[in-house]
Amino acid sequence: MSTPARPEQPVLDLSQDAVAVTAQLVDVPSVSREEKTLADAVEHALRALPHLTVDRDGDAVVARTDLGRAERVVLAGHLDTVPIADNVPSRRADGLLHGCGTTDMKSGVAVQLRVAATLPEPNRDLTLVFYDAEEIAAEFNGLGRLVERHPDWLAGDFAVLLEPTNAEVHGGCQGTLRVRVTTTGKRAHSARSWLGDNAIHKAAPILARLAAYAPRRAEIDGLVYPEGLNAVLIEGGHAGNVIPDSCAVTVNYRFAPDRSEAQALDHVREVFDGFDVELTDSAPGALPGLAHPAAAAFVGVVGTEPKAKEAWTDVARFSALGIPAVNYGPGDPALAHTREEYVAEAAVLECEERLRRWLSA
């Protein structure tokens, strides 16, 4: 019996422009935890470039120049996508490239690869990070794994995460935490409700405090980070004829990066004073770091006013290593994860041109 032929390993042609490279990347499916084929192709393409040193950990690939420059900058992007929604292979029409990951964030990865291939002698040493499993639980995040296992691979003076930002610089990021605010009562038959104590009713003050909450707007380095405190889930009840004896409101706090995780939790506990508050998830924010010379030069090349990142991103992992970082990439973040996901071809080419100018001026 003959052995079935193995699928041919895709080969990336980095001599094509960033739009074409994006299409190549989109046409290699890489849903989270299934990035190996694409990681193999990226590694193969980078090892063919003699000016780079290439390392790999799992499905994360890191390439570096070693030219002895005064500064080292890190360009980072994730290889994985959310599950495909009948939007692979890619399709080009009317100046747009359609397909899963075009915006989030294979167009950004394509820009990284083009910079790697076409700038053998940049004015700053480069570290290019391509990592896995960003779109799922933090425990699987490939950049987080590199931080733990190989922090020396990530060393640098400044980092750019090529997440979609509509080709604008988004400095730092918000922190985020989730808590469960719980109430307890006493079960009883709903026909004799006076014999019980309704835990769901006792959650009303929690919701009232949230409704009355006035979120802070923190200005940091000229960027304004709006905070938010919101109920995102309510759990309670046992059956249609039972007075519930427990209720939990899950609350998400998006906080400005001038607060630490501990300070953010203290604030939430203060808001819900008198209730049982349990922390279930937390991640720190990242300060914008725009005062660094490399960051200032980058903002100058981009030519638009930077904005605060109104979300959590992996720039926080660089910030934890003491590396100031910004988000900058082609694509509209509102299109990320949608069936109709696309990126404007002009935006991809513009991002490549700006990075090239910054790294060769």
Q: What does each of the 361 residues of the chain score in pLDDT, given as a tens digit?
A: 444 434 578 999 999 999 999 999 999 999 999 999 999 999 999 999 999 999 999 999 999 999 999 999 999 999 999 999 999 999 999 999 999 999 999 999 999 999 999 999 999 999 999 999 999 988 999 999 999 999 999 999 999 999 999 999 999 999 999 999 999 999 999 999 999 999 999 999 999 999 999 999 999 989 999 999 999 999 999 999 999 999 999 999 999 999 999 999 999 999 999 999 999 999 999 999 888 888 899 999 999 899 999 989 999 999 999 999 999 999 999 999 999 999 999 999 999 999 999 999 7
Would you say domain 18-172+286-360 falls under CATH 1.25.10.10?
no
Q: How far is CA 203 from CA 110, 183, 245, 254, in A?
A: 49, 6, 11, 22
What is the rounded distance in angstroms from the CA atom of residue 259 to the CA atom of residue 263? 6
What is the rounded distance in angstroms from the CA atom of residue 160 to the CA atom of residue 340? 26
Pairing of strands 325-327, 170-171: antiparallel
Q: What is the DSSP letter of 5?
A: P
What is the rounded distance in angstroms from the CA atom of residue 172 to the CA atom of residue 45? 31
Q: What is the DSSP letter of 81?
A: B
Q: What is the DSSP letter of 6?
A: P
Q: What is the pLDDT of residue 7?
A: 54
List active site positions. 80, 134
Q: What is the pLDDT of residue 2?
A: 40
Q: How far is CA 190 from CA 193, 235, 238, 242, 249, in A?
A: 5, 18, 11, 5, 22
* Strand runs labelled E in the chain: 53-57, 60-64, 72-78, 91-93, 96-98, 125-131, 158-161, 170-171, 175-184, 188-189, 217-220, 223-226, 228-236, 242-243, 246-255, 276-283, 307-308, 325-327, 342-344
Q: What is the pLDDT of residue 213?
A: 98
Q: What is the pLDDT of residue 68?
A: 97
* Strand runs labelled E in 25-106: 53-57, 60-64, 72-78, 91-93, 96-98
Given this chain, do its domains 18-172+286-360 and 175-283 carry the same CATH topology?
Answer: no
CA 19 to chain centre: 22
**Partners of 131 in the beta sheet?**
78
User: At 284, is the secondary structure helix, strand, or coil?
Assistant: coil
Q: Which residue has the tokens 């041109």?
A: 353
Q: Which CATH number fits domain 175-283: 3.30.70.360, 1.10.1040.10, 3.40.640.10, 3.90.1150.10?
A: 3.30.70.360
164 — phi, psi (to 5°)?
-65, 130
Q: What is the pLDDT of residue 361?
A: 78
| Structure-block tokens of residue 110 | 């394509």
Q: Which residue has the tokens 């000016």?
A: 51
Q: What is the pLDDT of residue 77?
A: 98
Q: What is the pLDDT of residue 138?
A: 87
Q: How many helices (H) and strands (E) does the chain have?
A: 9, 19
Q: What is the DSSP letter of 51?
A: T
Q: Which residue has the tokens 């109920």?
A: 231
**What is the separation, in whole angstroms, between the first and last Cα of the chain?**
60
The string over 9-36, giving b where at least 16 C-beta atoms fall within 10 Å of a residue's C-beta and e elsewhere, is: eeebebeeebbbbbbbbbebbbbbeebe
Segments making up each domain of the chain, as ranges: 18-172+286-360, 175-283
Q: What is the pLDDT of residue 137?
A: 87
Q: What is the pLDDT of residue 4?
A: 41
